[in-house]
Amino acid sequence: MSALFEPYTLRSLTFPNRVWMPPMCQYSAAPDGPLTGAPTDWHFQHYGARAAGGTGLIIVEATGVSPEGRISPYDLGIWNDAQVEAFRRITAFLKSQGTVAGIQLGHAGRKASTDRPWKGGGPVGPEEHGWQAVAPSAIAFDERHAAPAELTADGIREIVGQFAEAARRSLDAGFEVAEIHGAHGYLIGQFLSPHSNHRTDEYGGSYENRTRFALEVVDAVRAVWPDELPLFFRISATDWLEGRAGWTADDTVLFASDLARHGVDLIDVSTGGNASGVRIPVGPGYQVPFAARVRNEAGVPAAAVGLITDAEQAEKILANGEADAILLGRELLRDPSFARRAARELGGAVHVPDQYHRSV
């Protein structure tokens, strides 16, 4: 059997294959009104097409645990019941196609309140539905961003509670995987890295202090997330700040073990996003070695992502023991039926809707 199409089980949940879709923001939710942050017809067709194409797990894009936690005013959120109800339509369709429905829960921190990428992605003010960003320290991400407000200890505790409440709502919405967003320079990643965290209290300074917020979030989510369902954590394995203070691959291997002890079942391994102007050696599979280190040095299941674009490449990563699953971003945007095509190439089996039987 092809490794890419071998089922995979975490806790009591079995994924039909290892072709997984990572979170990719669509910036297509309403910025105001009664359905602010709720998924729309765009989201339904976007995720539904990939499910009909045979994708084993779809992780819905970064979803704000509060209005201020969104990256942009056009991002999804899951802080109220109207959003939960809108998500149920999507999760029900994904399940009808044999796809596992996951959601990424996040808070953007100092990178919040920005415009859509195709509008330049710069910060937006109140006149454009924007708000005051918060962070571990009052340090702007780059010259375009204003300095965020430094979170108080009470503010940190409030956000921990928002993650837990968002996880509870996610379960009610029909999701079976929750992923905590600790990557790409958003709030949890900002706490992890000494590049962005200059605090001198119990949330800053040492490795133990800088990881405290992340582990408190994990504990709060795990407390409301069923024991039989898996919890993921997405991490940027390195800030790519060679020779400067930042989060490193060695930190990630150590932290992966900490996360596993707190109930995380799989690490979704990416890199970068916390420091502007860094040089990243982008190329095919450039982030796979970081996933391999998590899997083989920390002994924690890991998923690989980053310019993985063809079936043979994905198969080789799994066969070499570098990852337990493959997250295909750009390729699933290009080809919603990647899984079906890859199954033909590799001799694997994948769900095909009856309506598409002539495509087999």
Task: Tell me the catalytic residues.
Answer: 186
329 CB contacts (<8 Å, ≥6 apart)? 21, 22, 24, 305
Concatenated DSSP letters of 293-340: HIIIII---EEEESS--SHHHHHHHHHTTS-SEEE-SHHHHH-TTHHH
**Residue 57 in contact with residue 99, Cβ under 8 Å?**
yes
**Residue 75 in contact with residue 27, Cβ under 8 Å?**
yes
CA–CA gap between residue 68 and residue 52 (Å, rounded): 33
Phi/psi zone of residue 351: left (φ > 0), alpha (ψ -120 to 50 degrees), beta?
beta
CA–CA gap between residue 191 and residue 239 (Å, rounded): 13
Concatenated DSSP letters of 280-294: ----TTTTHHHHHHI
Structure-derived torsion over alpha carbons of residues 199, 203, 204, 207, reported in degrees to the nearest 10:
-170
